[in-house]
Amino acid sequence: MAKRKKIASGELALIARLRAMAGALPAGRVRLGIGDDCAILRAPAGHELLVTTDFSLEGRHFRRAWHSPQSVGHRTLARGLSDISSMGGQPLAAFLSLALPRAVAQDIRWMDGFLAGLLTLAAQNKVPLAGGDTSEAPGTEVLADIMLIGSAPAGRALTRSGARAGDIIYCTGALGGAAAELAALSKTPTRFRHAQSSDEHPHLFPQPRLAVGQALLRRKLASACIDISDGLSTDLQHLCEASGVAAELDAALLPAHPLTAALAPAAQMAAILHGGEDYELLFTAPAKTKIPRSLAGVPITRIGRIVPRKKSRARMSIVAEDTRFELQPRGWEHLR
Ligand SMILES: [Mg+2]
């Protein structure tokens, strides 16, 4: 096998910057971080480990012409944190693998912006960056892979497979905001160049719902949970398949993100049902379980119910003005 080609001059400088910037994060359960062959983590007693990896690929998940480096860094980590949140887990450490075109590796401003975006979100969620890898990209696009290690009390992590007929379906926050912001971005790519991380930018700076997932686990509220990364319709389909059930949504109950108001009605409904990357949580709970109106400051909305799976009926349906429609999983295909 050919020896991997590394970024000759830029790489050591890049790793030094990364190490210096990551060094400001609290170590948490990382006993040994960046700088050795492996990181060493102290697993919490009585817990199981959660592991997830997610690609962030230029041209697929972001464009350098549209997304600021801060946004790219933030979104790279947010994808992994959201997966930990959907299991009710506590993130222990993040690992970042980056393949950079030479021009980007030498662009200190881009690199610093990317790392600042990633490490600001890491600091907010007390997640150490404990290692990773860098390499020269074979093409002209930035390729990032984030790996998150988390933990949950043994046997108690939330999964997609626990929903039962009769359960109520809930979601956190509001839906369609990321798709609506992306639509605005595609019209005026430079519009949000200087946007800062906040709830007002659901596409550029999504906020993973770690505290909500942890509250659902701790208070034993949810029977199943998934994060809405691909869109409500597609992720609800995943949950239904894993649980062997079917679902009915009530269109009037779906919480529309304020940014969707700028869209035409059909596009607004499409953003809410199919728009990806909201990174809200979709969960189910038995009808008798009392679910608070908000958890960790995030509103919780009842949006439908789980029903028995019948071969003769569609897996998912949505009721709007007393009419039932079949709901197809049409999750957003990112930039395609
Ligand atoms: Mg997920």
Q: What is the CATH number of the domain that holds 208?
A: 3.90.650.10
Domain range holding 193?
A: 168-326
Structural domains of the chain, count: 2
pLDDT for the residue 193: 78
Per-residue pLDDT, 255:
98
Q: What is the pLDDT of residue 336?
A: 47
What is the CA(232)–ligand 1 centre distance, in A?
A: 12
Asked if residue 237 and residue 115 are part of one domain, the reply reads no
Domain end position, chosen among 125, 153, 181: 153
The answer on 116 and 248 residing in a single domain is no
Is residue 313 in some structural domain?
yes
Q: Clarify whether residues 182 and 146 are in a common domain.
A: no
Q: How far is the CA of 103 from the centre of ligand 1 (A)?
A: 32
Tokens standing for 243? 């649980």
Residue stretches of the chain with pLDDT short of 70: 1-11, 332-336
In a domain, 94, yes or no: yes
13 CA to middle of ligand 1, Å? Answer: 33
**Domain for residue 295, yes or no?**
yes
Domain co-membership, 138 together with 176: no
Dist. CA 178 → ligand 1 center (Å) = 16
- Domain membership flag for residue 239: yes
Task: Report CA(283)–ligand 1 centroid distance (Å).
Answer: 12
Q: Are residues 105 and 149 in the same domain?
A: yes
Looking at the fold, whether 28 and 145 belong to one and the same domain comes out as yes
Residue 10 has a pLDDT of 63
pLDDT at 335: 54
39 and 143 both lie in a single domain? yes
149 and 181 assigned to the same domain:
no
For residue 139, report the distance from its CA to the centre of ligand 1, in Å.
28
Report yes or no on 334 lying in a domain: no
Domain shared by 215 and 129, yes or no: no
Domain for residue 104, yes or no? yes
Q: Is the dihedral of CA 265, 268, 273, 275 positive or negative?
A: positive
Q: Do the Cβ atoms of 279 and 174 come closer than 8 Å?
A: no
92-to-37, 85, 152, 288 alpha-carbon distances in Å: 18, 12, 10, 34
Instruction: Tell me, in angstroms, the distance from the centre of ligand 1 to residue 212's CA.
Output: 15
Question: CA 168, CA 325: separation in Å to the nearest integer?
Answer: 19
Could you tell me if 315 and 206 lie in one domain? yes
Residue 1 located in a structural domain: no
For helices 265-274 and 177-187, angle between their N-to-C axes, nearest 10 degrees: 120
- Please tell me the predicted confidence (pLDDT) of residue 333: 58
Same domain? 77 vs 48: yes
CA 230 to chain centre: 9
pLDDT score at 11: 67
Please give the distance, rounded to the nearest whole angstrom, from the Cα atom of residue 238 to the centre of ligand 1.
Answer: 10
For residue 11, how far is its CA from the centre of ligand 1 (angstroms)?
31
Residue 77 alpha carbon to ligand 1 centre in Å:
13
Same-domain pairing of 172 and 247: yes
Provide the token pair at 193: 């160049």
- Write down the pLDDT at residue 25: 85
- Distances in Å between the Cα of 230 and the Cα atoms of 125, 168, 218 are 23, 21, 26
Q: Which of 104, 121, 153 is the last residue of a domain?
A: 153
Last residue of a domain, one of 153, 185, 211: 153
- Is 160 inside a domain boundary? no
**Which residues have their alpha-adjacent CB atom under 5 A from ion ligand 1?**
83, 227, 229
Q: Domain containing 144 — which CATH number?
A: 3.30.1330.10
Closest among 145, 331, 332 to 238, alpha carbons compared: 331
DSSP annotation of 135: E
In angstroms, what is the span from residue 83 Cα to ligand 1's centroid? 4
CA of 55 to the centre of ligand 1 (A): 12
Q: What is the pTM of this model?
A: 0.93
CA 286 to chain centre: 25
